[in-house]
Amino acid sequence: MVELIQNDRIIGGMTLKCAERASVLYNIFLEGECVLTNSRTAEMCKLTENSFRDVNIAYH
């Protein structure tokens, strides 16, 4: 639960208005920062984070 509430979020939308609306939803419970970006950048961040986790799991 701590990660869900306190971790920062990268929020990408097809338009800035879409990203802002998602940010409003997250800010209901989120204590971390919402970083707004476009959907392509957000997807690349997600893939990079997933790759980082995969490598960490593989080496443990």
Give the per-residue pLDDT at 52: 96
Give the per-residue pLDDT at 25: 96
Tell me the C-alpha distance between 52 and 37, whole Å: 21
> Which of 39, 5, 40 has its CA nearest to residue 22?
39
Per-residue pLDDT tens for 6-53? 999 999 999 999 999 999 999 999 999 999 999 999 999 999 999 999
Give the per-residue pLDDT at 60: 84
Give the per-residue pLDDT at 37: 97
pTM value surpassing 0.85 = no
Give the per-residue pLDDT at 44: 97
- Residue 11: count of CB within 10 angstroms of its CB: 19
